[in-house]
């Protein structure tokens, strides 16, 4: 269904939690990671959680990230999936029971987030990614998680018409880009993380008020490398996917949650005409904003 304001497309079960999210109590020491899906949010969340938790690698490897850093709207977005994922727990209520400091994650745009974010002002990290790679990644994700069968080209049409799952991306991104100078907001991009992960680790540590040694940064960089994340069952969702779809699903489908991890993979999927349409769409929506990918 379409949720407004924001024209956001969400499963019907969102009705059960939409108001709860808007009215939810925010704590000053919450750390909230916000992003459109497939922007590298799991990667960034792992970095944020580890910095915030004094590099507790042991816990990071043994407790699934979704438990350490729950997705606020989880019970709405996965509620239509069969099996294990259909938890009776309401994700908003369970987040409310967590001890502080909470590390929360959400893919909702600013308009649908707790109104107390603008009064309590907890730390918020926003992650953005260039829309062409995001679209490619989102298409694969929808096949992996939601059993999508349509073509990539059709998915791109939805994306360009603001009708992809989660709705218009520009409103999502600009909702945070326009607030990026507020002291409680840190705006990151996937491309920056790829280019200079150690620099982003240091920036994020400063933002969270933590001090890291050179050695800490190196250990964290290693934990966050694509190769380590891809084989880390606490972040790659493989245990859940195998439980849901059977042990051979990943091998047979060739699909992975931590998939390719590159900038520019769109070149392997988009015709030059399609890429040009994405470019002019991006240009139109970013004109005058100062944001570039």
CA quadruple 54, 120, 65, 194: dihedral positive or negative? Answer: negative
Contact with ligand A3P (CB under 6 A) among 137, 171, 204, 245: 137
Q: Does 64 bind ligand A3P (CB under 6 A)?
A: no
Q: Does 229 bind ligand A3P (CB under 6 A)?
A: yes
Distance of CA 292 to the CA centre of its chain: 19
Q: Does 43 bind ligand A3P (CB under 6 A)?
A: yes
- Of 116, 102, 124, 115, give the one whose Cα is nearest residue 44: 124
Contact with ligand A3P (CB under 6 A) among 51, 133, 188, 207: 133
For residue 78, give every residue at least 6 positions away whose Cβ sits within 8 Å of its Cβ, in sequence order, or none: 85, 86
> Which stretch, 116-124, 175-183, 257-265, 267-275, contacts ligand A3P (CB under 6 A)?
257-265
Please, what is the minimum distance in Å from the beta carbon of residue 210 to ligand A3P?
Answer: 20
Contact with ligand A3P (CB under 6 A) among 14, 17, 33, 42: 42
Q: Does 282 bind ligand A3P (CB under 6 A)?
A: no
Please, what is the minimum distance in Å from the beta carbon of residue 265 to ligand A3P?
Answer: 5
Q: At what angle do helices 214-223 and 197-208 cross, to 10 degrees?
A: 110
Q: Does 41 bind ligand A3P (CB under 6 A)?
A: yes
Check 12, 80, 107, 269 and give the catalytic one.
107
| CB-count burial class (<10 Å; 0-12, 13-18, 19+) for 77 | buried
Please, what is the minimum distance in Å from the beta carbon of residue 102 to ligand A3P?
Answer: 19
CA quadruple 283, 287, 292, 293: dihedral positive or negative? Answer: negative
Task: Decide if 269 is catalytic.
Answer: no
Is the Cβ of residue 27 or residue 175 nearer to ligand A3P in the bound state? 175
* For residue 5, cis peptide bond before it (omega within 30 degrees of 0): yes
Q: Does 140 bind ligand A3P (CB under 6 A)?
A: yes
Contact with ligand A3P (CB under 6 A) among 39, 69, 79, 245: 39
Contact with ligand A3P (CB under 6 A) among 224, 250, 270, 291: 224
User: Which segments of 47-141 are extended strands (E)?
Assistant: 103-106, 123-128
Q: Report the distance separating Cα 267 and Cα 265, nearest Å.
A: 5
Place of tokens 């992996």: 144
3 state SS of 115: coil
3 state SS of 100: coil
Positions marked catalytic: 107
Contact residues for ligand A3P, defined by CB under 6 A: 35, 37-43, 133, 137, 140, 224-226, 229, 258-261, 265
């Amino acid at each position: 269904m379409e949720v407004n304001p924001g024209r956001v497309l969400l499963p019907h079960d969102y009705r059960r939690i939409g108001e709860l999210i808007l009215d939810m109590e925010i704590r000053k020491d919450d750390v909230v990671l916000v992003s459109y899906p497939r922007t590298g949010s799991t990667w960034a969340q792992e970095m944020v959680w580890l910095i915030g938790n004094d590099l507790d690698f042991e816990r990071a490897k043994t407790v699934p990230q979704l438990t350490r850093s729950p997705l606020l709207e989880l019970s709405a977005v996965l509620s239509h999936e069969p099996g294990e994922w259909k938890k009776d727990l309401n994700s908003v209520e369970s987040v409310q029971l967590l001890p502080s400091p909470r590390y929360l994650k959400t893919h909702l745009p600013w308009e649908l987030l707790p109104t107390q974010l603008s009064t309590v002002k907890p730390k918020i990290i926003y992650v953005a990614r260039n829309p062409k790679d995001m679209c490619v990644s989102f298409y694969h994700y929808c096949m992996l998680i939601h059993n999508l069968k349509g073509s990539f080209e059709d998915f791109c049409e939805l994306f360009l018409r603001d009708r992809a799952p989660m709705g218009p991306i520009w409103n999502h991104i600009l909702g945070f880009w326009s607030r990026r100078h507020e002291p409680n907001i840190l705006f990151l991009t996937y491309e920056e993380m790829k280019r200079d992960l150690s620099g982003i680790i240091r920036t994020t540590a400063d933002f969270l008020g933590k001090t890291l040694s050179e050695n800490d940064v190196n250990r964290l960089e290693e934990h966050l490398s694509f190769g380590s994340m891809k084989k880390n069952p606490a972040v790659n969702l493989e245990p859940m996917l195998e439980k849901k779809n059977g042990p051979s699903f990943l091998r047979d489908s060739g699909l992975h949650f931590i998939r390719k991890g590159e900038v520019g993979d769109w070149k392997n999927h988009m015709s030059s005409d399609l890429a040009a349409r994405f470019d002019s769409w991006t240009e139109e929506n970013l004109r005058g904003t100062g944001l570039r990918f």
